[in-house]
Structure 1
Amino acid sequence: MMNLPESDALRTIGFAASRQISSENERYQWPGHSYSSPQFVTALNEMQLQGVEPRMQWSLIPFLSGTIDDARDEKAARAGIDITWQPNSLVSVNATLNPDFGAVEADDVVLNLTALETFFPEKRLFFLEGSEVFETTPRANSGNSLRETTNENFATTSRRVFVTDFMPAPISLLNTRRIGGTANQVDVPQGLAPARGERNLPTNLLGAVKLTGGANGFRYGAMTAIEDEVSWRAMDALGRDQQIIDAGRDFSVLRLLYEHKDENRLGLGYLGTQIVGPRYEASVQGLDVHYGLGSGLFGVDMQLVQSDRAGETGRGGILDVRYAASSAIQHKFEFEYFDSKVNVNDLGFLRRNNYRGGQYLLSYAYPKPGRWFQATRGTLIFRHQENLTAGQVVDQGVFWRNTLVLKGRNTIRSAIAYLPSRYEDRNSRGNGAYKTSDRIWLNALWATDASRPLSFSTSIGGLQEDLGDWTLNLTAGVTARLSDSLYFDLDLAYKRRTGWVVYQGGREFGAFDAIDLQPSFDLNWFLAADHQIKFSFQWAGVKAYERQAYRVPSADGALQRRAGAAGPRDFTVSLLTTQVRYRWEIAPLTDFYVVYNRGNQLPPTEADAFGDLLSDAFQDPVVSSLVVKLRYRFGG
């Protein structure tokens, strides 16, 4: 499906053909540009068509759903509708009223005890459709960060596992996961404490509308969404059950883009966001400029940002310069500046502010086979960042990543990095910065031929912690294709941490020795045509024992040893996400779902056996819901 402008003239349409040979796990493509090629759209094959007349498209997709929430002892029925109307290429309207996203695939379990936020990609179809117009720079897309940092060939012939440590987070003014996400403007009355897990629950949406379109080089996008009120379970000082109710938030987004394309490309864009909540309002304005040669040899992307949150104004910007000497060698320079007051995270994503920095990235790819290998590719990266308030280096390193495809379709992925001493200024939550040691990171991963019924992967690696102690990383996994309709992935990650520095409140830190165990299991079973069962299980368990207490010095610097804190500070972590999902695709966009979700995040306790941690995670969950949903499409 393509958007075509009104025209009586002969149309020239670019196209490419691609075929995946599953039995050989190889991809054939015409034109034959590799993933490392600086050209794609400008190198498409061309064909001319006469008499192609776009027609109006519309659809109404009403749905009914029922939810049984055992964790909150609630039952609910919902009815809503999704509406799509596209009379021509000038405008496309998508709307959803009273949506229910309970049947969406669950997020991965991520263990994060730092002060930096984890980015989770969008999975809701309403926000994914037409989202490309809202991407202001390539760095707004998390997939681009993975592709550029690793320079991977995602038509890989081996098991699909990658080395993803030290991956840069996206910088985006629009992160739609904020819409209907965890509530951040709830006023908690004095004397009440929200129940465990309430702060992490998503917020229901009353509705959302999205308009996109364009003509003559102009494109636009507009979106608005309204949240329902927030209702949290709570407990008062006497242990009695209470309820916290507050208003939801209203979101608005406007995107304007002009692109001029002949031999080269010039683009000018604007993105503005507005959030109105019960406690404060926030807005962000962004201007972006893009220039690229039609040959793909050279390109520039720039964005300037201004935020206004609760009356506090901040500014920042990014600049990316790309030079592709050939399909084998490419260079990229990245520059960033964000002052200490800029904050886009009410509707965008910026991992931190108060820094300036740059990165140089060299990508190489040699597809010609050697005596014992099929191809090799990788990246060499130099990174440097420093905060603005104190001029302290907060991130720097030299990273080398390489992928070697062997004869027989096995792959070796290796990585090594040197991380010079820096200041950790975020994990103290505003209570100073401490200086780390010089560190080394190593990783080697081996993956076997994915076209076989059984394919395996295993890796070994090491990372020096902030004080110089070594953490050992081991992983192992298998993909089993039992038949054309049934396959599963089983993975296990193990870490033996030594001297793991974890925040303990105020200026206090502790160095812990810990065992970190993370198994995962994914099964897909296509029972019959249009019937699928998907089961996913992920768990992260940690047992940590404190070896030394530390404190951040008042003038910043190396962590200072101190006497042990009163009482034990050993702790455990247990994070669980599991989902069973049945889908019957009755017709395109007409589906019947039955989805069960169960999740838990146990409060830290004294060290316990891993078996007990896992079994306890299934008891008294913070998420335990059964969703039954039917949607039916009417349209033309």
Structure 2
Amino acid sequence: MPDSGEVRSIGLYMSRKVAYLDERWGWPALPDTIPQFMSVLQPMEFKNVNPKQQFSVFPFAAVAKDRVEDENRYKVGADFFWRPSTNLQLSGTVNPDFGNVESDDVVINLSATETFFPEKRLFFLEGQEVFSASPRADTRGNGVGNAGAPYTMVNTRRIGGKPLELPDISGLSIPDRELDQPVDLYGALKVTGQRGSLRYGFLGAFEEDVKLDGTFAGQNINLQRPGSDYGVARIMYEDSEGGAYRAFGMLSTAVLHPDKDAIVHGFDGHYLTPDGKFKVDAQAFTSDISGVDRGYGGFIDFDYTIRQGVSQRLGIEYFDRNVDINDLGFLQRNDSFRIRSSHVRTTSGLGWARLNQFDIRGFVQKNNDGLFTGGGLFITNKLTFNDTSSVFATASLFPEAYDDLNSFGNGTYRTEQRAEFVIRYS
């Protein structure tokens, strides 16, 4: 909470999910089809609300059995949280164990672009919103159309992920099982807070050394490599004078390793009109990686709500050949100029049906050589009947294009036009 005097003003919203009706009941009535939320919450005032300083420590111990290596592993650590004031929180973890985290879905990906997996570790999830510099970083959504992969400078799944790729050494062989194992952490520290119109956040994490079993020239070896150190710094200025929302922020990330350093700086801006109908979000960033020329990229998105349930979006993005934020962020590809647009219509109260959601979107894309590297038109409709059953249909059209990624470094090739159609009832 921000600092306040004797009287504290808050906005209140309550909702309940009624599962058997597949409905959400809320007060005030704020459906997903209107462009406002925070500004139209029910205002309330309370006196003599004085939150106290909070401090918590959660120690833990864990034992794991590795049946492949036939060894036991023991771990003792602790998580701690300290809130010295209403607008500042510090949290940390020492020798963390994430063995109780939900598993990822099984995805078979044979393409050259990476699959995004969302963060599920509670330590990194809490307070993560301050490090989100654009709506493109949020993978959640209520629409029926495919929004695609996120664009984000901070993807905490990189922390404690795979070890840094080994250099090519003749005679050295490391099994894939070793190269895919997650890296343990010594610890991590996070600070989030707000001071007036300024919001800020800092995150640091430190990996343990990586031990890899393999062979070299036919002899069994145990290779030890240092882990990476991660750092994130975020500051943002927000202003809502006159009812309009304006914000400007800076986000910097660093991944430090004896073999490779990766530094990324980004700047973002945001604007929302008082009625919530028109919104602009933009971000530009630059990357500086050891052995690679500095890279640049960015995007701007426009979102206009025509009326309740009808919205139009337009996005423009450009990334040069050298920009790379994937040491700590997520970006499916660079070397591209893309324009994308979507039109969404949601209609409720049809009488014979509860809800109809219609989505049409598309994109065109070129690389920096001027080759048309992708495009698509996607039409999706979901009709939900009064008994909560639904019919979902989607049609996709992909025109002829040049594929400069999926040959895995073996040149560019031409792809034919193709179409897809899916319909299902549930």
Which bin holds the TM-score, normalised by the shorter protein? Answer: over 0.9
Number of the residue aligned with 2:416: 437
8 Å contact kept, 1:267–1:290: yes
- Aligned mate of 1:327, from 304, 308, 314: 308
- Residues 149-298 of structure 1: pairs in structure 2 closer than 5 A: 150=144, 167-187=147-167, 189-238=169-218, 240-262=219-241, 263-298=243-278
Number of the residue aligned with 2:348: 367
8 Å contact kept, 2:3–2:87: no
Taking the aligned partners of 1:329 and 1:25, their CA distance within structure 2 comes to: 22
Number of the residue aligned with 2:403: 424
8 Å contact kept, 1:185–1:278: no
What's the offset of the Cα at 1:382? 2.0
Number of the residue aligned with 1:336: 317
- Aligned mate of 2:73, from 72, 76, 87: 76
1:257-316 Cα offsets, whole Å, 9 max, x none, are 110013010000000001111211110000000000131110100001100011421000
Q: Could you say which structure has the greater relative contact order, defined with CA pairs below 8 angstroms and 6 or more residues apart? A: 1
* Structure 2 letter corresponding to 1:327: Q
- Aligned mate of 2:339, from 358, 369, 388: 358
8 Å contact kept, 2:64–2:72: yes
The question of 1:310 aligning with 2:307 is answered no
Taking the aligned partners of 2:5 and 2:278, their CA distance within structure 1 comes to: 35
1:22-63 Cα offsets, whole Å, 9 max, x none, are 333322111222222211111211111111112111101111
Q: What SS class does the counterpart of residue 129 from structure 2 fall into? A: helix
1:340-361 Cα offsets, whole Å, 9 max, x none, are 0000000000000000111111
- Aligned mate of 2:106, from 105, 109, 117: 109
Number of the residue aligned with 2:130: 133
Q: 1:231 to 1:188 in 2, by over 3 A?
A: farther
Q: What SS class does the counterpart of residue 349 from structure 2 fall into? A: coil
Taking the aligned partners of 2:102 and 2:94, their CA distance within structure 1 comes to: 21
1:503-529 Cα offsets, whole Å, 9 max, x none, are xxxxxxxxxxxxxxxxxxxxxxxxxxx
What's the offset of the Cα at 1:188? 6.1
The number of residues matched between the two structures is 424
Q: 1:336 to 1:19 in 2, by over 3 A?
A: same
Taking the aligned partners of 2:212 and 2:274, their CA distance within structure 1 comes to: 54
1:212-240 Cα offsets, whole Å, 9 max, x none, are 101211100001111000111212343x4
Number of the residue aligned with 1:615: none
Larger-Rg structure? 1
* Structure 1 letter corresponding to 2:74: A
Gaps of at least 5 residues in structure 2 are none
Taking the aligned partners of 1:275 and 1:418, their CA distance within structure 2 comes to: 39
8 Å contact kept, 2:311–2:344: yes
8 Å contact kept, 2:363–2:377: yes
Number of the residue aligned with 1:521: none
Number of the residue aligned with 1:59: 56
Gaps of at least 5 residues in structure 1 are 152-163, 448-636
What's the offset of the Cα at 1:75? 1.2
Taking the aligned partners of 2:363 and 2:315, their CA distance within structure 1 comes to: 9
The question of 1:377 aligning with 2:357 is answered yes
Following TM superposition, where does structure 1 have runs of at least 4 consecutive aligned residues deviating by more than 3 angstroms?
185-190
8 Å contact kept, 1:17–1:31: yes
Taking the aligned partners of 2:114 and 2:223, their CA distance within structure 1 comes to: 25
What's the offset of the Cα at 1:245? 1.1
* Structure 2 letter corresponding to 1:322: D
Number of the residue aligned with 2:14: 17
* Structure 2 letter corresponding to 1:445: R
Alpha-carbon RMSD across the aligned residues, in angstroms, is 1.4
Q: What SS class does the counterpart of residue 132 from structure 1 fall into? A: helix
Number of the residue aligned with 1:525: none
8 Å contact kept, 2:295–2:321: yes
* Structure 2 letter corresponding to 1:224: G
8 Å contact kept, 1:206–1:226: yes
- Residues 378-457 of structure 1: pairs in structure 2 closer than 5 A: 378-388=358-368, 390-447=369-426
TM-score after normalising by structure 2: 0.96
1:171-228 Cα offsets, whole Å, 9 max, x none, are 0000000000001244564312111321111100001100110121110000111100
8 Å contact kept, 2:21–2:388: no
